[in-house]
Structure 1
Amino acid sequence: MLFPSKPHSESTHCDALANYEAQVQTSELTLAGNDCLPPPASPTDSEHKFQGGRPHRLVLSEYEVIGRLRALPHDATPIVLTFGPRDLDNPRNWSTARKWYVTCFVSMLNVLTCLCAGGYSSGTPLLREEFHVPSVVTTAGLSTYILGFAFGPMLLAPLSEHWGRNPIYMWSWLVLVILQIPAALANSMPTLIGIRFLQGFAGSAPLTNTGGTVADLWERDYSGAPMAIYGLSSTLGPPLALPITGYLAQYKGWRWLFWFFMAVLGTAWIIMVLTLPETRHTIILAQKTRRLRDQFSALGHPSSSCIQNPPDEGLGHLFKVTLTRPIRFLFTEPITFSAAAYNGLIYGLVFLFNESFPLVFGRLHGFTHAQTSLTFLGLCVGSLVAPFLHPLQEKHYLRVCTPESRMWSGLPACFLLPISLFWFAWTSSPHVHYMVPIIASSFFGAGIFVVVLGVLNFVLDAYGSYTASSLAGVILVRNLVGAVFPLFAESMYESMGYRWAGMLLGLLALLFCGVPFLFYYHGVEIRRKSKWASMHGDTRSHEVGE
């Protein structure tokens, strides 16, 4: 554990509460009895909402609800359940080991869906030969998958808010597993391209849910290390896909790629069904409410109907917000617009850069397709080394604790992108040893991890409860760019030449290096001018020199 768990506030009934909750977990509490009952909740114990001078509803913990209903059996005041300070049903109160297991597992799902996306590229040369189509057509199979990434969250995000994380994980993942069968049996490129879009749509569930799962499990000030794991899964997945699938495609054929995906994804689905708990707070509270109401109702308690479900504005409202607010944020919120533009550019550079590897190492150095796939390990090494520097970023953040401080490590890291791209471009020659551009790519992988994680954390801290809408806009732009850029990558390299095309990528990365500095030094002023960001959090300035 890199950082200590955040201590919870003490209650006046701490010992009784701990005993009671242990009994609830093991179903040892008998509501009809008189033992282990807490005192009735008083107004100072609970949050009240008033309407017309009278309590509109009481927000109580399960511990307090039992005490109140036993003490005031005929009271008709509506009660809404919340988590108690040490409620073991609250995901943030789970053991550290359990929280880390869930965090790592859902992050692994992110890696696997990226594996399914990028691993397809290992079979594109074979697809061109079998179906006699140009490279832009086979590349469309990658682009449509990323396009599914762009639009899938628009549907899956509100469903996860309404039905919970687990149903979305499990059902969408099962669809992704099943869709590997028609892909493996496809007899035409149009069929395969259409299936790939559906795969990307179903496979976007981790993009929608993983960040929410991390937020469910960890207090915001102590989520730095879990978010680093999530960020690593996003940056490690694409370059890791090709080394894993390169030799399989070369020696077994492109259809075996999809059978391999089915086996790996299917194994993950079985583990998911058996071990992954629900983490969405409102869903857990609704389940607790239903259980408590049924227990009191079975005993004939007159006030059992007063225990109400948490307020729910309905799935229709969620869809309305999900489909409209991200677009509104993109065009009215400077933070969202800047983060989306920068994130989109970075992922565009990633896909363009990845497309250069078969050209540079295959054509210039004479590598086979399987050997070329191993050159992506340089990107993987950079992505794996960068997280070891993340504790320095967290140390700075915990000292300053402002959204802008999330960008601290991104200030030097943003220059790794143009430097590594220039380095790669000028060493892309048959007269330069192939390890030199591979080493350059490792610095690119490290820079991508640090910068992308910094931007995502800055947006999370800046918008608070509105983060989902802002990140949805950022992810939409990122994946739309990622879907389009691979389509013209090969023609760009062939028309401009490998060196000058690489120089163009480096210049674009250099041009946008000002965005992290803008967020770090002027983020406070930008948040003050933002309608949504100013409604959340602290807009105090910080000492940027710390």
Structure 2
Amino acid sequence: MSDLESISSYDSSQSSNTGLEDTQPQQYIYQSVSRQSRDDLQSSINSYLTTTPTNRSSNASTNQRLKLVKTETVKSLIDMGVSSYIPNPAINAPKTSKKAIFPEEYTLETETGLVPVSTLHSLGRTNTNLSRQRTRHTLSRRNTRIASSAQHDTTLEKKITINSTSSSSSIDKQEQSFSNKVSPQQSPESFTHKIVSHFIDESDNDLESQGELNEIDPEIEFVTFVTNDPENPHNWPLWLRWVYTITLSMLVICVAYGSSCITGGLFTVQEKFHVGSVVSILSCSLMVLGFSFGPLIWSPMSDIYGRRLTYFVSMGLYVIFNIPCAIPNNIATLMICRFFCGVWSSSGLCLVGGSLADMFPSETRGRAIAFFAYAPYCGPVFGPLVNGFISISTRRMDLIFWVNMAFAGAMWIIVALIPETFAPVILKKRAAKLRKETGNPKIMTEQEAQGIEFSAMMKDCVIRPLYFAVTEPVLDLTCFYVCLIYSLLYAFFFAFPVIFGELYDYKDNLVGLMLIPILIGASLALATTFYCENVYLAIIRKRKPTPEDRLLGAMIGAPFAAAALWILGATSYKHIIWVGPASSGLAFGYGMVLIYYSLNNYIIDCYAQYASSALATKVFLRSAGGAAFPLFTPQMYHRLGLQWASWLLAFISTAMILFPFSFYVYGKGWRKNLSKTDYSFDALEEAEDEF
């Protein structure tokens, strides 16, 4: 810490008429004082605080109270690597109405935990509605204005009021000037940036015509994590973070299991409501379709209230809506409730990735994401595997949903025990606590200082994903491949009953067992992801990585996914033992998880701070495909035959093998030429270097 420290003083007055102390803040003052002056001031404050309220009120008609709080200085921030350059927000940065001037707030650990906005202004960080990196022309005009004003005012004067504990009248308000220290290496121009906010005329028309907005109140203090902060999720013990990772992955498995639980007993729906196979399949498709719409609710809710509350509310609703699914009066009730089950439970699919990013830095996040990639593709396999035995032994549709509700209820309770992982919400609660303890209402997070408009939130959660869907060919191709793999998984659920149920005369319980090879293959893929992560870390040590470096897993897995469908078609004959078609699941499960793990990371790296919008596009398209495929898969196998139906899908999957290899070679150029904007971190940094 430097010998200069920012001091925050809180003044409150006492009414001379009532004798009651007014709790409303009168003035907040930020100044820099020497260590000796600070010690003298602290002595005065301690003396004041030990004086009885009666003696205080007799001192003057307007008594004042002062509290000192250590905050960061320009020097301490520079020592931590903070400069005038405003980096791009992290993937999990909260949404604000303006561009953030301190995006490091949620990742940086400071000594004091408080960073005054005035100090950030002194570094040259200001908030405008222009692009983060201003044009040279605007910067030149700004510096000219600052330098001109600085010639008239070489120092800033601030007032501080101190109560006397021994005098019968209040001490006169004292004027104290200060100037920020400038290192010898700093130019006069950089010095002018240090007093930027006090010399900008906010009503100046020509700057407003350039899009300049009013600056954040310089008296506000942003809250950060302190050094080795135990509340920072990145500082939690590694074993504990992995316990939470496995728990959250189980939540995803629970949600995915619920989507396919009815596939193990479709005949129970047909018997109960006297409907055909297509209508009974809708009970599965509608829940998967609900996955597309849920993120529109849960993503903004998690940004405002945090992950923990969002999980608790959404999973609670999911548990409740399983009750009418178990005891529906008619088929319409079942269908509607299944759709809403998908909407409520989708929080597990759209937020768990963010929770993992909250706990792990980007360098080690890949292994945790691998578990997340494993869960949504293996969870559906447990549905027909478990409920095939329930439906055959009991022939009860309601028992399928009671078991599903019990699983969801257990996960609801377990996930509620996981503490909040979203840093902005953690710091928001800390800021509220500090405001109460210090009496300073200007301690807050940047999200609180800037606020967030509903229209801006809707833009991020609804408009931008749709915009990406129609303007980003690279994202569309990537999402198409993810959609294909996800749809093929659900195609297996409805192709296996045709192959093993009609060809081999197996009951639903044995048909469910044929899906076990998919789980085995997925588990092998999970082990392979650790190899992929080691390769990626080796690349980081050698050079700057690109999004295309994330495609190794897809390049390994793509041939296996295609080969699985060729095997399925070639072995779907009565004279071939069941091991033949069942073994196709081994190759498919292996390729499926590797492809999803790889492409998910690729999308995140390609779209940087807009990754949440890009992932929302992926979830929408993936869920739409997963909902549609089951509706025509049985008819396709009946019309084309067991061999050609599988081979048709094999042809498509074989063509898609080219995707990861071609993108690995040409992806950077395609992102630059095909997309309207290259949003990746490396492209943004290249643009800034050119600037």
Q: Tell me the TM-score range normalised by the shorter chain.
A: 0.7 to 0.9
Select 1:242's aligned residue among 384, 389, 400: 384
For residues 401-412 of structure 1, the aligned pairs below 5 Å read 401-412=545-556
Tell me, in whole angstroms, the C-alpha distance in 2 between the residues paired with 1:49 and 1:282: 22
Select 1:472's aligned residue among 584, 607, 616: 616
Q: Which has the higher helix share?
A: 1
Partner of 1:382: 521
For residues 27-42 of structure 1, the aligned pairs below 5 Å read 40-42=71-73
180-189 or 79-88, which deviates more: 79-88
Cα deviation digits, residues 401-425 of structure 1 (max 9, x gap): 3211111132132011121101111
Tell me, in whole angstroms, the C-alpha distance in 1 between the residues paired with 2:458 and 2:466: 13
1:89 CA drift (Å): 1.6
Partner of 1:434: 578
- Tell me if structure 1 keeps the 8 A contact 2:263–2:493: no
Partner of 1:286: 428
Select 1:257's aligned residue among 375, 386, 400: 400
- The alignment status of 1:309 with 2:340, answered yes or no, reads no
Q: 1:387 to 1:12 in 2, by over 3 A?
A: farther
Cα deviation digits, residues 370-409 of structure 1 (max 9, x gap): 1111111111111111111112211211122321111113
Q: Secondary structure at the match of 2:623?
A: helix
Select 1:43's aligned residue among 74, 81, 88: 74
1:138 CA drift (Å): 0.2
Partner AA of 2:593 in structure 1: F
Larger-Rg structure: 2
Tell me, in whole angstroms, the C-alpha distance in 1 between the residues paired with 2:159 and 2:498: 76
Q: 1:68 to 1:371 in 2, by over 3 A?
A: closer
Tell me, in whole angstroms, the C-alpha distance in 2 between the residues paired with 1:448 and 1:539: 32
Tell me, in whole angstroms, the C-alpha distance in 2 between the residues paired with 1:33 and 1:240: 66
Q: Secondary structure at the match of 2:446?
A: coil
Cα deviation digits, residues 506-543 of structure 1 (max 9, x gap): 011112112111221112213334455345236899xx
- Tell me if structure 2 keeps the 8 A contact 1:91–1:217: yes
Partner of 1:483: 627
- Tell me if structure 2 keeps the 8 A contact 1:158–1:315: no
Q: Secondary structure at the match of 2:223?
A: strand
- The alignment status of 1:337 with 2:476, answered yes or no, reads yes
Cα deviation digits, residues 68-113 of structure 1 (max 9, x gap): 89xx995972211122342222111111122112211111110001
Q: 1:186 to 1:49 in 2, by over 3 A?
A: same
Tell me, in whole angstroms, the C-alpha distance in 2 between the residues paired with 1:64 and 1:201: 42
Partner AA of 2:603 in structure 1: V
Partner of 1:355: 494
- Tell me if structure 2 keeps the 8 A contact 1:162–1:314: no
Tell me, in whole angstroms, the C-alpha distance in 2 between the residues paired with 1:377 and 1:33: 71
Tell me, in whole angstroms, the C-alpha distance in 2 between the residues paired with 1:376 and 1:535: 38
| Percent identity between the two aligned chains | 28
Partner AA of 1:205 in structure 2: S
Partner of 2:503: 364
Q: 1:68 to 1:495 in 2, by over 3 A?
A: closer
The size of the alignment, in residue pairs, is 497
CA-atom RMSD, angstroms?
2.7
Select 2:461's aligned residue among 322, 325, 335: 322
Tell me, in whole angstroms, the C-alpha distance in 1 between the residues paired with 2:306 and 2:676: 29
Q: TM-score, normalised by structure 1?
A: 0.85
Partner AA of 2:401 in structure 1: F
For residues 45-124 of structure 1, the aligned pairs below 5 Å read 45-46=76-77, 63-64=111-112, 77-124=219-266
Q: Secondary structure at the match of 1:41?
A: coil
Tell me, in whole angstroms, the C-alpha distance in 1 between the residues paired with 2:231 and 2:315: 25
Q: Secondary structure at the match of 2:229?
A: coil
- Tell me if structure 1 keeps the 8 A contact 2:258–2:383: yes
1:44 CA drift (Å): 2.2
Partner AA of 1:533 in structure 2: D
Q: 1:399 to 1:540 in 2, by over 3 A?
A: farther
Q: TM-score, normalised by structure 2?
A: 0.68
Cα deviation digits, residues 181-235 of structure 1 (max 9, x gap): 1111013222111110010111101111111101111111211110000001111
129-138 or 528-537, which deviates more: 528-537
Tell me, in whole angstroms, the C-alpha distance in 2 between the residues paired with 1:33 and 1:132: 82
Q: 1:77 to 1:264 in 2, by over 3 A?
A: same
- Tell me if structure 2 keeps the 8 A contact 1:335–1:459: no
Tell me, in whole angstroms, the C-alpha distance in 1 between the residues paired with 2:399 and 2:388: 11
1:33 CA drift (Å): 8.2
